[in-house]
Amino acid sequence: MGDEATIFTLSEVSEHNHANDCWIVISGKVYNVTKFLEDHPGGDEVLLSSTGKDATDDFEDVGHSESAREMMEQYYVGEIDPTTIPKKTKYTPPKQPHYNQDKTSEFIIKILQFLVPLAILGLAVGIRIYTKAA
C-alpha cells in the first residue's frame, strides 16, 4: 500500500462478485477476499452476499475479533468513492387507515349508538305499562 490509494466506485467493486473474483467494501476500504473465501469461518456465501454494497454494518454486527481485523489488511486493494454508495433512506411505514382493534365497522357502531338507547327507552316504557296493568 503506497501513499496514494486507488479509488474505486461501487459499480467497479460490484463487478467482482463471484467465487473466482470477490471484492467487498468495509468502512470505506475495498478488500479483495477471493483467496480468503474458503478459509472464512462463516463460509464463502457470507462474503459473496456482501458484494455490491457497503458491508460495514454486516461486518460490525458479527463482532469480528481484533485478529480478524488485522488479517483484513493483507486483502486491502483501495478505497471506495463514498459518493457512489447510495445513501440510506429512513424507513417510512406506509400510510394506513386507523386500526380498528375489534374489527367492527364504523357504520355498525353508529347504528348501535342509536339502537341501544332506543331499546333501553322501550324497555323502560314496557316495564311501566306492565306494572300499571298489574
| Residue range 16-75, pLDDT digits in tens | 999 999 999 999 999 999 999 999 988 899 999 999 899 999 899 888 889 999 999 999
Q: What are the domain boundaries of the chain?
A: 7-84, 99-134
The answer for 131, left when phi > 0, alpha when psi is -120 to 50, beta otherwise, is: alpha
| Closest by CA position to 2, among listed 72, 79, 66, 54 | 79
pLDDT for the residue 34: 95
pLDDT for the residue 91: 66
- Report the SS3 class of residue 36: helix
**Residue 111 — pLDDT band, cuts 50, 70, 90?**
confident
The C-alpha atoms of residue 28 and residue 66 are separated, in whole angstroms, by: 18
| Closest by CA position to 52, among listed 8, 2, 16 | 16
Question: Among positive and negative, which fits the CA dihedral 66, 67, 71, 73?
Answer: positive
- Between 1.10.10.10, 3.40.50.300, 3.10.120.10, 3.30.420.40, what CATH number should domain 7-84 receive? 3.10.120.10
Strands across the sheet containing 17-18: 7-8, 76-80, 29-32, 21-26, 17-18
pLDDT for the residue 86: 84
- Report the SS3 class of residue 8: strand
Dump pLDDT digits (tens) for 63-90: 888 999 999 999 999 999 999 988 876 6
**pLDDT at position 105 over 90:** no
Q: Which residues pair with 33 in a beta bridge?
A: none
**For the range 70-73, what are the long-range contacts, defined as Cβ-Cβ under 8 Å and sequence gap of 24 or more?**
71/36, 72/26, 72/31
User: In this predicted structure, which of 2-6, 67-71, 105-109 has the lowest mean pLDDT?
Assistant: 2-6
